[in-house]
Every structure is written in C-alpha cells, then in structure tokens.
Amino acid sequence: MRIGLRGGIVVLTALTLMAYLPVGFLFAQQYGVTAWSAAAIAAALCWVCSIAALVLASIAHRLAARDASAGMAYVLLGMLIRMGIPFAVGMAVSTADTQLSRAGFFPLVLVFYLITLVAETILSVMLPQERTAPVGTGSAATEPATSREN
C-alpha cells in the first residue's frame, strides 16, 4: 500500500496527537501540571522535524530514479533535521534551569522522538516511487521484430 505525502502528514499528525495524551498524563504524574506544556512543546518539536524529514524523503524518492546520490543526500539531510534539531533543543533546555527543564522536557523529547521516528520511517517507505523504464526499453524495444531476408 502506497500513500502520498499529504496522507503521510495526516497519519503522522494523528499518531503524534494520539500519543500526547497518555505521555502527557504519565509525565504529569511525576513532574506535575507543567509536564502537559512540556509534552506539547516536545511533541510539536518532534512532529515538525519529522514532517520536514518526510518531505525530504518524498523528494528523495522522486530523485532516486534519476540520481541516486542526490536522493541519498536528501535522506541524510532529513536524518540530520529529524535527529539534530530535537536533541539540540532538548539538551539546550535541559542545561538551563527553567520550568520546562524541571518538567522533564528532555525525556519527553526522547519519547516523542522515538514515536515520530518509527511513524516517519514507516511512512517514508510507503511513499510512492517514481517509476522508470527498465533498461533496454526504448523505441527500438517497442517496435515489432522484423526478420532479415538474405
């Protein structure tokens, strides 16, 4: 089953929203009411980065048919965005002594990162690929074979 980019964004959004309530509830039990805000920010951060990675994976699927190295560059850029931004923000917030860091922001980033990583990886595999003609199929291959007369 193949889904398009829009369908992937909708599914990723729904999964992130469905994960927000139980994760927020569990963290609110340990860190208090502020954990709900921290969970919302962590979910939004990971969701935005996963959407960016999914868009780049969609571009990579289109380019891979023509140029594999360009497609791979987009996949690697998506990995950098998906992993680098949430972890950098999570570490920056956790080193500061703020209400957000005391509400368990970095563990929340890790939880939502893993949820969106699994979802985005599955969805990127389900993106439609551009089909290319097999090698050797050109105008000569579609012409009927003619017999040579000697």
129 with 61: CB under 8 angstroms?
yes
Residue tagged 């889904």 (tokens) = 3
Q: Which stretch of 8-22, 91-105, 106-120, 130-144 has the lowest confidence by average pLDDT?
A: 130-144
User: What average pLDDT does range 91-100 have in this prediction?
Assistant: 91
Q: In terms of Cα–Cα distance, which of 128, 113, 121, 123 is closest to 48?
A: 113
pLDDT at 16 exceeding the cut of 80: yes
Tens digit of each residue's pLDDT (9 = 90 or more) over 77-90: 999 999 999 999 99
**Cα–Cα distance, 112 to 82 (Å, whole number):** 11
**Cα–Cα distance, 10 to 136 (Å, whole number):** 39
- Please tell me which residue, 147 or 33, carries the higher pLDDT value: 33
Q: In terms of Cα–Cα distance, which of 60, 78, 82 is closest to 70?
A: 60
Residue 140's pLDDT band, with cuts at 50, 70 and 90, is very low
C-alpha angle with apex 29: 41 to 43, nearest 5 degrees?
Answer: 20
